[in-house]
A and B are shown apart, each in its own frame.
Chain A
Amino acid sequence: MLPDRRQQILRPVRLSTIVVSFVIALLLNFLPWHNVALVPDFVALTLTFWCVRQPQLVGLGVAWVLGLLTDVGNGVLLGQHALSYSVLAFCAVTLSRRILWFGVSGQTLHVAALLLLAQGVGTLVRLAAGAEFPGWSLAIGPLGAALLWPLVSFLLLAPQRRAHEVDDTRPI
């Protein structure tokens, strides 16, 4: 299988884009949702995106700090999201070249697997700490988040696209 040949050449990413995207993701996560299990984890999704696109800039350290913030904000066991986000970032960084080889639908499938894995790690930690299994609805959040992948990658790549201008002197 060949990679998607119609990819645009992108401008280098600005650090402010990454920071703002994480701030917005944290805000979306802290909205007073009625049932958290059914809501996509926006921070995990954004983290996966940047780990896949910019593995040099965003990696395990960022993931761990974001996980810790999520733990404190959600009032859950300290370290639960830190661990699951670290595992998520590791897999995303390791698989980044492979994932980018695929088209949008293939990427979505990969991301679904990664997010489910992260949720599974968090669930195992809580079950080991003595919590009760709340049911398989836990899988709905990650799957919903994976479905948002095309939208998120379109939005987060938008600042990097150059304007489509006709310029005969430009080689590409």
Chain B
Amino acid sequence: MEHTPPAFFNRGPAPVVRLTFFALLSLALIVLDARFRYTEGLRSALALATQPFQIAAAAPAAALRRVADFFASQSQLSTENVELRTELVKAKLAAQRFEAAAAEGARLKQLMGTAEKIPGGATPAEIMYSGRDPFARRVLVDKGSRDGVRAGSPVVDESGVMGQVTRVHALLAEVTLLTDKDQAIPVQVARNGLRAVAFGGGTSGLLELRYLAANAEIVNGDRLVTSGIDGVYPPGLPVGTVTRVERDATNIFARVLCQPAAGIDRGRIVLLLTPVEAPAAAAAQAESAAEKARDKPATKGRRQRAKETRAP
């Protein structure tokens, strides 16, 4: 008792006590966010405080880009214009051919009695900068909830699928690239219709097809397209090309690596597509599928479910 300091020397709890308190608080948040994703409300409330900083910080770069665009030279613009016109003619030709094929396909489907999934609208967007998280592969685009962007929308560029919108802010949206370690996309081999799930390869910049049997019919150079069975990605979009197949006698699964088709690390303009089905229906479907698969040893199911809850 005689060792207690007088009240005017009192500095509150000791630093170690404070550290313990704040560390436990942080760990609780980390667990809530990583395991259960209960923190989205807190996140959006705090985002109101950080958004002015982000907009102010992004302003100089945007202004600089606008100035650079303004001073683009006449000859540069005219060459680009000619190139774009040629591209447009080619694209129109391809589109006409595609329309004929699509009509034929629809007729065949009608004959077979299957319903056709009609892809929804698309919003063009510009990539502003890569995400501020060295542990994940994300980019930020300049369209947000004000432009009608919804979480879960597929993102494509001119050559294939690029990723998926995982978080939407008012003016920005966060796109997780296909090569992110936690991103998965259902694909099928264009040649024979073999279905698989492609997972991001992380820093390698490749995709990996997991859980394919060692004797699966897949060879180097096979093109992969979206299968569309997840109700998020429209079917038939190019995803990548198989670059390596390893079949090992000691492993029941083949190791298949593929190069993504889209310009994951380059390009500026992307399209944000509307998910094929209503997200609620897709989520319910995924939930029931996950319930069915719960007793199976499926890492895939858990991941898929995590993805669904993150991007409903």
Contacts and interface: CB of A to CB of B under 8 A. Distances in A.
B26 interface: yes
B244 interface: no
Contacts of A32: 57-58, 61, 128-129
Given A32-B61, A86-B19, A94-B15, A76 B29 contact: no
A130 B34 CA distance: 9
A134 B19 contact: no
B203 A82 contact: no
B167 to A, nearest CB: 6
B47 interface: yes
Interface size for chain A: under 10, 10 to 19, 20 to 34, or 35 or more residues? Answer: 35 or more
Contacts of B129: 32-34
A132 B135 contact: yes
Q: Which of B23, B60, B129 has the most CB of A within 10 A?
A: B23
A153 to B, nearest CB: 22
Interface stretch (B38-46, B149-157, B214-222): B38-46
Chain A's interface: helix, strand, loop or mixed, by majority?
helix
B53 A27 contact: yes
Contacts of B94: none
Nearest to A27: B57
Contacts of B135: 76, 126, 131-132, 134
Contacts of A56: 11
B26 A26 contact: no
Contacts of A26: 50, 53
A123 to B, nearest CB: 8
A52 to B, nearest CB: 14
A100 to B, nearest CB: 17
Interface string B42-78: 1100110110011011101100000000000000000
A79 B15 contact: no
Contacts of B202: 132
Interface string B1-31: 0000000000100011011001101111110
A68 interface: yes
A78 interface: yes
Contact of A30 (B22, B53, B181): B53
A142 interface: no
B54 A87 contact: no
Contact of A77 (B25, B30, B47, B56): B30
B131 interface: yes
Contacts of A31: 57-58, 60-61
Q: Which of B16, B28, B130 has the most CB of A within 10 A?
A: B130
Interface in A34-74: 34-37, 56, 59-61, 63-64, 67-69, 72-74
Given A36-B133, A138-B134, A67 B26 contact: yes
A140 to B, nearest CB: 11
Q: Which of B22, B33, B57 has the most CB of A within 10 A?
A: B22
A93 B174 contact: no
B139 to A, nearest CB: 11
Nearest to B21: A60
13 contacts: A30-B50, A31-B61, A33-B129, A37-B134, A68-B46, A75-B132, A75-B174, A79-B30, A83-B22, A87-B23, A129-B34, A132-B181, A134-B134
Given A36-B133, A80-B26, 10 more contacts: A28-B57, A32-B128, A35-B130, A60-B22, A75-B131, A77-B34, A78-B39, A78-B43, A86-B19, A134-B203
Interface of B: 11, 15-16, 18-19, 22-23, 25-30, 32-34, 39, 42-43, 46-47, 49-50, 53-54, 56-58, 60-61, 128-136, 138, 167, 174, 181-182, 202-203
